[in-house]
Amino acid sequence: MVPQPITAPRARRVSHFWPLVSGGTAVAVALALGAVVALRANPYGVDAEWLEELVEHRSPLWDVPAYVMSFLGGGWFGVLLVPVGVGVALLIARKPWSALYFVVASALSAGIVQLLKSLFARARPEQILVAADFGSFPSGHVANAATISVALAIILQRRWVWFAGAAWTVLMILSRTYLGAHWLSDTIGGLLLGGAVAVFVWAPLAARLQREWEHPS
């Protein structure tokens, strides 16, 4: 029996299925990780060992790039200016669906981070070098980096964007743990959450985004 070709509507349903499942799974894992760390009074061994190793290697040479990454990845610059700036640039390029997707994903990621910080109320490391808000889990900087990286990679569909985004996110993890702003598990939770939100928001907009780039106005 000759298999029947997949129709366009069915193909779109299939393309939406795996992002929703994978995004939902990553969110579930992040929530489970948050629950696990919240129920434990003391940090896990890998958290303590990772922080201890970084604290031993602190020096003015590494302080500067760590502080720069901290500024670029959070606060008014990373959470507000970058998403708005990218959204405006996409609108100027006549990509309104891409602009909507990027801004919504960034805003939703930041909102969920703040909700989880309040929910889990995990204490930050005592060796922290920067001023930070309440709640260590998950890392907002890393979640923001992951969301932006995945969203831009999805929009631009360039392999180099994936590599650049991965490098940016890893550097953000190193920066936040080096500065003692987060435990390692906080950054892993932020990574899972940020990437998942970008994929989850993309699913219902995938077809429109694809058409927008394939048939520019």
Q: In this predicted model, what pLDDT tens digit does every residue of 77-113 receive, in sequence order?
A: 999 999 999 999 999 999 999 999 999 999 999 999 9
Amino acid at 166: A
User: CA–CA separation, 24 vs 60, rounded Å?
Assistant: 41
pLDDT of residue 216: 67
51 in a domain, yes or no?
A: no
Q: Which residues of the chain have pLDDT under 50?
A: 1-11, 14
136: tokens are 């260590």
pLDDT of residue 7: 43
Report the first-to-last Cα separation within the chain, whole angstroms. 42
Residue with tokens 């394939």: 214
129 in a domain, yes or no?
A: yes
φ/ψ bin of 180: left (φ > 0), alpha (ψ from -120 to 50), beta (otherwise): left
6 in a domain, yes or no?
A: no
At residue 70, what are phi and psi to the nearest 5 degrees? -60, -40
Sign of the four-CA dihedral 196, 201, 202, 207: positive
Give alpha helix (H) positions in the chain.
Answer: 8-38, 45-56, 60-73, 75, 82-92, 96-120, 140-156, 159-178, 184-214
12 in a domain, yes or no?
A: no
35 in a domain, yes or no?
A: no
36 in a domain, yes or no?
A: no
User: CA–CA separation, 152 vs 43, rounded Å?
Assistant: 34
Instruction: Indicate the DSSP class of residue 122.
Output: P
pLDDT of residue 14: 45
88 in a domain, yes or no?
A: yes
pLDDT in tens, 202-215: 888 888 888 888 77
Residue 139: give the domain boundaries: 63-214
Q: How many domains does the chain have?
A: 1
34 in a domain, yes or no?
A: no
